[in-house]
Structure 1
Amino acid sequence: MDKWLRNNNVVKGIALVIGILLWVVVHLDVQTTSSGNTGSTLRNQTISNVSIVAKYDQELYSLRSIQPAEVTVVLSGRSDAVRKVDTAKIRVELDLTQMKSGVHSLPVKVIGAPSTVTAEATPAFVRAELEEMQMKQVPVTINVAGTPAEGYKAGQPVVKPTRVQVTVPESQINAVESARGEVSVDKANGAVTKQVKLVAYDKNGKKIDGVINPQVVDVEVPITSPLKAMPLQVKFVGRPAQGFSVASVTKPEQVTVFGPQDILDKMEFYDGLQIDLNGLKEDRSLSVDVPLKKGVTRVDPAKAEIKIAVVPSATKVVEKVPITLIGQSEGYTAKLISPEGSQLAVTVEGAPALLDKLKPQDIQAVVDVTNAASGTQELPITLNLPPFLMQAAQQPALKAVVEITANQPSKPVTGGESTETPTAPPAGGSGSPTPSPTPVPSPTASSGTATITPTQSKSSESSGAPAGGDGKKTN
């Protein structure tokens, strides 16, 4: 060994090998260090305007405010780790689950960053105010929109339930007034039934964000044609069997008629229902369809329940029935010659109960002088009797003697005092005075004569009575 070490060539060879080894070691360490330094380089990444998500019991509380509502998040770590972070998954939470109502200052927490990266929020603390939720019961209001089909009307909506509960923050509880919804009845010709979603409103008609229970209600809007209540008139024709009379009739007093408004406006009563009394000897109960007149869509009730009471007839003589003259032509005077006193006795047949109530003024005795010639004429007397009463068969035909004379024109008296009342001449000119017509006396029961004015009077007819007592003329 000593010999080798003393040999210069050997020493040079060893030195060369050591030098090569040192060169290799040095270069390998530099490359390793360089590679390690590249992966361990630190990096920061800033994420701005990250919204804070508050966690709290939303059934009991409302988040009234949070300041600030957004924070800045800074990610720190090795470059390769920071680059791999999905910033869309980064979120910031504020835990208020253990807090009561009031203002709280709490730290925020960054969620979504991997463990190899440090995430910090700026600011780290925020102020949040929780408000207690309160409940209020309010009425449901339904707005009916649109126009129904022609001739129809929308009625009041029927809502189930009529009241709901609205839950809002305590500061808004006094402002809540109603829960509203809307139903369209446009072009509808029948009832509209819908489920309607409700929205809470305040006293000023502004929407309020709140929880409504139930939020959906059942609504029905009735659609009807215009209606009008009016009396029902029933016409009775014929007469009961001989020896019997109608004592009373029970029927609906009025009906409700549905149809276009212009048709209803022209109707004061509803008629068209006719009952035949021919041959009746006993009580009768009928259920009769009420006919639909032109333009009428519905009548309520659709059937009329009618009860007719029939009893044996009785007779009654009614004295001092006044006689009325009608139909006098202008320029003629009619004077009743007989019966004397312008009165007559009438024998009436009917139910005993109706006869007991009958008075002379309930009977109209009419003499029609229309188209009668001048002179003394014998004319028939027509009787108008209350319903279900008739002139007794045993009474002979009633006649009246009437004297008809033409009125004489008035002549001025010369050289003497005039009996006529002059009228003033027209203003600004002269003219002969115009005589006023001689007053015509009205008929009186006690004078024995009756004089009528030129205006024709009408005899009243009782609607809904049988022959002889239904408003038809009986001679």
Structure 2
Amino acid sequence: MDKLMDNRWFIKILALLLAILLYSTVSNKENKLTDINVPSNTTSATIKDIPVNVYYDTENLVVSGIPNTVAITIKGPITHVQSTKALKNFEVYVDLTDAKIGKQKVKLKVKDLSDKLKATINPASVTVNVQEKITKEFKVEAEFNASQVEEGYSAGQPVVEPNKVKITGAKSVIDRIAFVKATLEEKSKLKETITKEARVQVLDKDLNKLDAVVAPETVKVTIPIKNNSKIVPINIIKKGTPQDGITIDSIDLDVKEATIIGPEDILKDTESVRVEVDVSKITENTTLNLPVIISNGITKVTPQMVKATVLVKKQEEKTVSGIPLKIQGLSDSYIAEINDPANQIINLIVNGPSSMVDGLRPEDFNVYIDLSNLDEGSHEVNIQVDGPANVNWKPNKATAKITITKNA
């Protein structure tokens, strides 16, 4: 026995047999453990918002009815479920490569998913509509908020560049197109011409957006803005007649010009606006608030009211007596005799501002009759008066009776 233990080959063979015996023992224990009821190592998880890919003839067909995303529930070993949920390394798709035109129900499928997992897609199937794809050209209409135009300005016809776009989509969608608009979004007030990019919108008759591809997606919209205002003078118009003894010395406005707004052709022909002062009601210095009056067609004036300061002079009346009646224009071939008034004297009733009337004398007036072109005989001619400005007068006689004879 000692000799066998000393043999090297005997030792190696014995070690091999012990190793085989140990492996067999461990293997039997694992098999026995497998037969014991232990908790399951499988689980399930629902992954939401998984995008759906669609395979079809994109050049000639349009497909609708495919949801953008779906939810998928996977079931299998915990490690596989957790890894798949984290990586999302699979694809949900619909295969319409052999689909016919029209409505049809199709199943959603999944690929690139581990064969150790089972998958349930929600929804499992959908109804799709496969239609012929067509492209048609449409004119683009510009649209903007007219209330954004600054007061005193007006917007001209918008210009769109390019003014036509190509729209591609299902024939049923293209047939529903009622409006193709480019809406200019601008928050600030417009008082000068503006050009901006605007996105093209495709709408049906009820202004619902339609699902179609537009080329180009944006266009340039130009809104021409014109100035519709003008500055003009404010004219003063006197209405009525001053009361006896009152003279209107001056009328002065606190604002002498106004800004008017209106159509271009009306502005072109409008040179002024006015205020009206009823002088018949004024008896002393006063300040009036008066409306600025505009002509037809003008839509607005600024300011709408002005202050008018009216200065008056009260009049005085007096009689200037003893003014000689003179003869003018008589030919040297004739002699004229004034029969009436016999004393050849005229009295004037004068009225005007006190400061002027008080100092008036007979020599401040020239009272005469004009006998130019009169022949021999008796005549009745008008008495004429020249005198200072800013005063009024009335002679006590309006006419004179004369006799013209030849000079001997």
- With the shorter chain as reference, the TM-score category is 0.3 to 0.5
Greater per-residue strand proportion: 2
- What is the TM-score with the length of structure 2 in the denominator? 0.44
